[in-house]
Structure 1
């Protein structure tokens, strides 16, 4: 299957590498491929330059956002940061029409001013915008009415999403939310291919609000476990 991954950060790399291992044709989208390949310094999260990473993963094709989306059969993974996701995806709406976009972006606003900051080991905790009465997943769906948006993956580090058995033998829960049953089934099938055994459908895309807001709880649990960056643990819904 031809699958597109939009974004070149650590999470997008995890998905691209896993999909390649599963035998899919992988097309990675970035705003400017030549600029991406020209970078020689690690990114803000310490990931090695993308060109260096790409060289160690032959078979992955780097394209523009639009060309990567167009190359996908029916499934696109959005790894574009939350601040830029709606604009970047709207610009390639035609190429995404009729396809499923699974979105794991968190709508974080960094370096904001607040009367009551939450200090963390790496600075003030970013705030969520939108929050409570809207979600990034819903914003993307409104911007792309011809696309089927599914919110998932967002409650975990992406390295865990693609390798759930690394935590507790895989005995933890992943969530999906969306307004299209067939699209949610497509994402569920991908999660099962990744190794997930407990997948909970939380209903319509409005549920993305809860999944996105969990990001702060995810950080709090990680801090409690002594994990300053990322969160290498799972959560289990006990029925």
Structure 2
């Protein structure tokens, strides 16, 4: 399958490498391919320049967001939550029409030090707040902005390196969740998760349930800090 991944961050790279290894044709989208390849410094999260990753995975194609979206039969959104809606709606109207868009972005709003009303300090700085919350979600905002696209929220309750390799915890016996308003799109997302190695996948319902999946990010961070590392989550029922 031709799969487009929009974004070049650490999470997007996990998906690109794994999907390539599974035999898919992967196109990675970025705002400016030349600028992306020209960077020589790590990004704000300490991730090595994309050019280093690309040299290790020459089978991947790097293109603009529009070119990648047009080439993909299925599209994965790895654009950061603060910029996702603007970047996706800037694409040509037919680039995503009728396609499944898997969104795993967290709607983080990063603040300047001291700006938080009630600070939550972490080893990497103040924990960003979430916006939207409660009565809306980033996934729903994307769906409203792209009514002809079938948006599915998934991957968001784990670090992406665990999403693409669930077997590293409990032999893969932990739980992934998905939400969306289109059954065929959720089925496509489920097939991808199964290919990654997930055996326990819970459909939590319509896209409105993405509110809970996105807001879980803060609890996941709290657990990660308490456990001092990554982990898997199993729903026992």
* TM-score bucket (shorter structure): over 0.9
Q: Distance in 1 between matches of 2:122 and 2:52?
A: 31
What is the match of residue 163 of structure 2?
Answer: 161
1:234 match:
232
2:147 aligned residue (145, 148, 162) = 145
Number of residue-to-residue matches in the alignment: 234
Report what 1:205 is aligned to.
207
CA RMSD in angstroms, aligned pairs only: 0.8
State the 1:21 CA deviation.
Answer: 0.2
Matched residue SS, 1:83: coil
The unaligned stretches of length 5 or more in structure 2 are: none
**What CA deviation, in whole Å up to 9, does each residue of 1:191-228 have, x standing for no partner?**
0000000000000000000000000000000011123x
Q: How far has the Cα of 1:114 moved from its partner? A: 2.8
Which whole-Å CA distance do the structure 1 matches of 2:159 and 2:224 have between them? 11
Mapped partners of 1:135, 1:124: distance in 2: 22
Residue from 174, 177, 180 that aligns with 2:179: 177
Task: Give the aligned partner of residue 116 of structure 2.
Answer: 114
Q: What CA distance in whole angstroms lies between the structure 2 residues aligned with 1:119 and 1:236?
A: 28
Question: Unaligned stretches of 5+ in structure 1?
Answer: none
| 1:98 match | 98
The list of structure 1 runs, each at least 4 consecutive aligned residues, that deviate by more than 2 angstroms after superposition, is 112-115
- Give secondary structure in 1 for the equivalent of 2:47: coil
Question: Structure 1 residue 18 and structure 2 residue 18: aligned?
Answer: yes
Residue aligned with 1:89, SS? helix
Q: Could you tell me how far 1:100 is from its partner in structure 2?
A: 0.4
Aligned position for 1:89: 88
Between the aligned partners of 1:225 and 1:174, the Cα distance in structure 2 is 20
**TM-score where L is the length of structure 2:** 0.97
Aligned equivalents of 1:159, 1:10: Cα separation in 2: 9
SS of the residue aligned with 1:146?
coil
Of 224, 227, 230, which aligns to 1:225? 227
Mapped partners of 1:48, 1:126: distance in 2: 23
- TM-score, length-scaled by structure 1: 0.96
